[in-house]
Structure 1
Amino acid sequence: MSLDTDQATNVTWSREVVRGTVHGRPSLMYKDRPRRVRDLLIEARRWGDRELLVQGARRLTFRDHERAVAAVANRLSAYGVGKGDRVLLLGFNSIEWVVTFWAIQSLGAVAALGNSWWSDNEVDALVRKSESKLVISDREIHSAPRIAFTELRTIVDAGDPAVLPEVHVSEEDPAVIMFSSGTTGAPKGILKSQRSIIGNLHNLLAMTRRLPSELTDDHPGTTSLQTVPLFHLAGVQVSCGTLLQGGKLVLLDGKFDPADVLRLIETEKVKSWGSIPTMVSRVLDHPALGDYDTSTLSSIPLGGSPVPATMRSRIEEAFPNVKKRVGSLYGLTETGGLLAAGAGAEIGSHAGRVGKALPVVELRIADPDENGVGEILGRTPNVPEGYLGEGPIEDTDGWIRTGDLGRIDDEGYLYVTGRVKEVIIRGGENIASANIENTLLKHPAVAEAGVLGLPDDDLGEIVGAVVVPHADADLPTIAALTDHCKQLLARYEIPERWWIRREQLPMSGIGKMAKRDLGQQWIDLGAADLVDELSAT
């Protein structure tokens, strides 16, 4: 098998940080680093017959994986996919998803990572926006040619010999399109280069002391259970990291189920469980928690939303070997990945503390108030190329606005205290309130709409919608508004609490909706469904 082997195997992953430029702007970066995502496939050959992927009864070794990647790449190539072409991956976690991601990279093509929960309208719009040449999905797609994951599973399981393609790819060539919730409407496509993907991975491997050039051939690797979607940045990170360090990636065989998580931790001897607070909470609440041997579990990196101190205590009690490794990771799709990280006592006893900036990341606080709180800005070499069809993400000096509020203490620790942007985080999914508001305003009876996050013990936040009808209209029913949203929104975006009222929504002195006051008023009333007239229930 080819794939420019000499160039790939001579790569050094250094810890030395130097100052350079990205997009013509100053930035820190690692001196020695890989330049292409596809080269990671070659580095992984050293692990040979170790198991790499596990899902249900199916198991693939590293050797099986490379063979499957080559076979799927040939299938994509037959559809005309080549360097620079965009392929939308739209599916739930599966072995085929992982294999196809790497097949796209081996061709020098661009993997557009779609959210499986998008509505049909959102899928069609984003296929066009991303200019995807092909869609990989088991759903019916009308806006582009499609290959089903079920077809690719047949190719993967056949195990026929195949050769990886050869193509020249540079560090600045595109590798991945990820989609952000944005703050003003439909998801935005964010174009990430080879440099951006590898740079974020380099940060993670340096932080966990697993740089490939520092590992011996008998390095045991880490068995990781991934229960968050692979189409999130964390999914790309764990797929790449597992490949490089000779580890094993375990995927759920179906929907999330706490009992399945506990069973897999026991049977696969899972050491690291990539999750979000909502999922961990459901496992901790499961009545059979104590019936499984979870002693191998030593790390739970958590993303999606802040981790409450009470949950940290419950994790430490349920999984004693995780005590020092309940990690906190802070970053955004727009920043190309992680900005700061921390673990154990350094963050556990400090509310809101997420850790320190990673080696090639610079952080500062814009326009701090008297308490040092302002918008968090980051500068990193992993900055994406920009939004699809729009300008760059960073400013002229390379700084990226996160939309989050925070402060940095005298020891250099970053605290996240709130959000500037109106984004709801429901079970780890970022939801743009403006997108839902715009959808509600399309209903003929709706004059005003305000969407906000309501606190929830399980999901962190849930979507609440406050609706004011036109003066001459009857109050719309909750059922009618829900059906309207189902036609235009992803399932996780549909409001779960409704307040239908005649009174106009409160406004601030500058004419903006006073959502904080509105939300507090609703919480004071119990945060339940409220309707001005009983006839509208």
Structure 2
Amino acid sequence: MSHPVNINPVRGLLYQARYSPEHPAVIYEDETVDYAHFTESVRRLAGALARSGVGTGDRVAYLGLNSEVFLRTMFAAWWLGTVFEPLNFRLAPREVAGLLTRSTPAVTIVEPGHVPVLEAALPLAEGYDGGSVVVVDTDPAVPWTPDGSRGVEASGDDGAAAASWTTLGTYAAGSADDDAALPEPFEASDGDLAVLMFTSGTTGQPKGVRLTHGNLFWNAFNVDSLVDTRRRDMNYAVAPLFHIGALNSFTVRALVRGNTTLVRRTFVPSQVLADIEHYGVNTTFLVPAMVLGLSQDPAFEQARLESLRGLICAGAPVPPVVISLLKSKGVPVQQAWGLTETAPFATYLPTELTYEKAGFAGMPMLYTEVRIVDPATHEPVTEPDVRGELWVKGPNVADGYWQDDRATAAAFTDGWFHTGDIGYQDADGLYYIVDRLKDMIITGGENVYPAEIERVLAEHPDIADAAVVGAPDEQWGERIVAVLQAHPGRETPTIEELREFCGQRLARYKLPKDMLAVGTVPRNGSGKLDKVTIRELVRQS
């Protein structure tokens, strides 16, 4: 006879507070918070949310950078069976307004630096009453200094948003009677919604991915089955936690299993290198652009990184040149592939194959199925080295999109998630990601995948970053355009030099016909190339 199992991460947090109360849970702004104190702060915030009427299934949003309060809010939401909604802190007010309209959070916790964004967004959020807004006034990195004219009482100028505002210090303060009224932590099962995470939306309106407690839990099982992580590891959270890669690769698991998480608000290469050495960091999630940034920092040559045995690099195809740069430091880059909908990993390349299979996305995670299908017929592709769209199925895969039946029906078939990524499986059964299906360029009747060219451009000694897009062409249908960012102090290569360099590595029909030099190649909040913005730059050039 089977019995339901409570898989709420709060259960793990309480376990650590009971048996390892003095062990460091979070290091933030060089202040250490042990499990006893972190769990107590979670309990108090959960009590405050409960007193304000927040209950099971409601949404609690967070708008701000990586912080201890971010993590506290997440666990407090889960204590009540509430859905945690981390908002992209890079979004403009109108974009935030769209997400608020669709998700209607009961409470939004906002950092001081993002108060102006939220104030501007609320009047634009049609049909949303604004809920309650809590301003973080307890974070030493972002002190709260109200302007006096408004204090923390706010409403939209046109009356469209009538949110009530308070500060976190006031909101979370409670009496003994209040504490006694706090309900027992919510007992979560596989199907209970845990996180509402909106995709970056670089190709259209963001979709709200419904991630359940089961998705988070089974991803942890997948990671534990393949990645060399250990109890008491030092985890490093520097990639934005509003993305599933940074949040659920190691950080949620670290707080459940009794590890320590060092939280940094932003990515500063010199600081990251110093932190890895000083704190003996064991695990971290970085996107390829971050790893490249580390290798280009002046401190990289002298940095000692040997403690780092769990560096997972994902979020975009990993160029082999990036892997080679870390090899000199004795750090095998562990490549992985997945999406927000897979929470986040669908495949993983173990350390013993890092160099033999450089650039590969790896093997399916233990409890996840991956198949390649013909994107036109949806028939499975069984031959090795034949390209098709990758579909994923498993308990770590989301069940659909928030209040969007049409998008759900288009992306899910009998439990299989259509990733939109093109790839192939080699004779050893390992997967290689070629590019996004939507980014494919058709030139002269040939299919060209920009990521193939971008990997080659990453090897050019004068190029710091590169993107490849298609542009209309009367003769060829589309022509290939390279958008290039040169290393500081170096010249951007000419198109002739670029074609000569690429011609040694690529077929001639894949060579760029045009190039555009830019100061910075646009990327979105997850570190992926922002192809919409890049195409517009090319169009205007």
Give the TM-score, by structure 1 length. Answer: 0.70
Matched residue SS, 2:338: strand
Give the partner amino acid of 2:388. G
Alpha-carbon distance in structure 1 between the residues aligned to 2:257 and 2:466: 35
- From 234, 239, 251, the equivalent of 1:228 is 239
Alpha-carbon distance in structure 2 between the residues aligned to 1:423 and 1:40: 44
Alpha-carbon distance in structure 2 between the residues aligned to 1:121 and 1:423: 30
Pairwise CA distance, 1:374: 0.6
Alpha-carbon distance in structure 2 between the residues aligned to 1:396 and 1:525: 40
Is the Cα contact below 8 Å between 2:66 and 2:266 reproduced in 1? no
Which residue is equivalent to 1:107? 80
Say if 1:361 and 1:74 are closer, same or farther in 2 by CA, change over 3 A: same
Say if 1:284 and 1:103 are closer, same or farther in 2 by CA, change over 3 A: same
Aligned: 1:274 with 2:285: yes
Which residue is equivalent to 2:23? 50
Say if 1:518 and 1:133 are closer, same or farther in 2 by CA, change over 3 A: same
Task: String of CA shifts for 1:342-386, please: whole Å, max 9, x gaps.
Answer: 133424233542111111111111024894111111111222231
Alpha-carbon distance in structure 1 between the residues aligned to 2:414 and 2:196: 24
Alpha-carbon distance in structure 2 between the residues aligned to 1:201 and 1:267: 27
What 5-or-longer segments of structure 2 have no aligned partner?
139-166, 375-380, 442-449, 484-494, 496-510, 519-533, 535-539
Give the partner amino acid of 1:117. R
Which residue is equivalent to 1:251? 263
Which residue is equivalent to 1:316? 327
Is the Cα contact below 8 Å between 1:361 and 1:379 reproduced in 2? yes
Which residue is equivalent to 2:273? 262
Which residue is equivalent to 1:339? 346
Which residue is equivalent to 1:148? 135
Which residue is equivalent to 2:422? 405
Matched residue SS, 1:40: helix
Question: 1:83-102 counterparts in 2 under 5 A?
Answer: 83-102=56-75
Task: String of CA shifts for 1:3-46, please: whole Å, max 9, x gaps.
Answer: xxxxxxx99xxxxxxxxxxxxxxxxxxxx965333323233333
Is the Cα contact below 8 Å between 2:348 and 2:363 reproduced in 1? yes
Is the Cα contact below 8 Å between 1:176 and 1:192 reproduced in 2? yes
- The sequence identity of aligned pairs, in percent, is 26
Alpha-carbon distance in structure 1 between the residues aligned to 2:271 and 2:362: 31
Does 1 or 2 have the higher relative contact order (CA < 8 Å, sep 6+)? Answer: 1
Is the Cα contact below 8 Å between 1:205 and 1:241 reproduced in 2? no
Give the partner amino acid of 1:355. G
Matched residue SS, 2:517: coil
- From 201, 207, 232, the equivalent of 1:188 is 207
Which residue is equivalent to 1:414? 431
Give the partner amino acid of 1:198. F
Pairwise CA distance, 1:165: 3.2
Aligned: 1:350 with 2:339: no
Pairwise CA distance, 1:183: 6.5
Pairwise CA distance, 1:203: 1.3
Say if 1:286 and 1:169 are closer, same or farther in 2 by CA, change over 3 A: closer
Aligned: 1:527 with 2:516: yes
Is the Cα contact below 8 Å between 2:59 and 2:103 reproduced in 1? yes
Aligned: 1:39 with 2:56: no
Which residue is equivalent to 1:240? 252
Alpha-carbon distance in structure 2 between the residues aligned to 1:389 and 1:337: 21
Task: String of CA shifts for 1:30-89, please: whole Å, max 9, x gaps.
Answer: xx9653333232333332211011112321111111101011112222332111101111
**What is the total number of aligned residue pairs between the two structures?**
421
Pairwise CA distance, 1:507: 7.4
Give the TM-score, by structure 2 length. Answer: 0.69
Say if 1:66 and 1:84 are closer, same or farther in 2 by CA, change over 3 A: same
Matched residue SS, 2:137: helix
Is the Cα contact below 8 Å between 1:68 and 1:155 reproduced in 2? no
Say if 1:223 and 1:51 are closer, same or farther in 2 by CA, change over 3 A: same
Is the Cα contact below 8 Å between 2:273 and 2:303 reproduced in 1? yes
Which residue is equivalent to 1:436? none
What 5-or-longer segments of structure 1 have no aligned partner?
1-9, 12-31, 211-218, 425-451, 467-504, 531-535
Alpha-carbon distance in structure 1 between the residues aligned to 2:309 and 2:203: 40
Is the Cα contact below 8 Å between 1:174 and 1:192 reproduced in 2? yes
Alpha-carbon distance in structure 1 between the residues aligned to 2:81 and 2:294: 40
Which residue is equivalent to 1:388? 402
Is the Cα contact below 8 Å between 2:392 and 2:419 reproduced in 1? yes
Aligned: 1:81 with 2:54: yes
Give the partner amino acid of 1:339. A
Say if 1:285 and 1:517 are closer, same or farther in 2 by CA, change over 3 A: closer
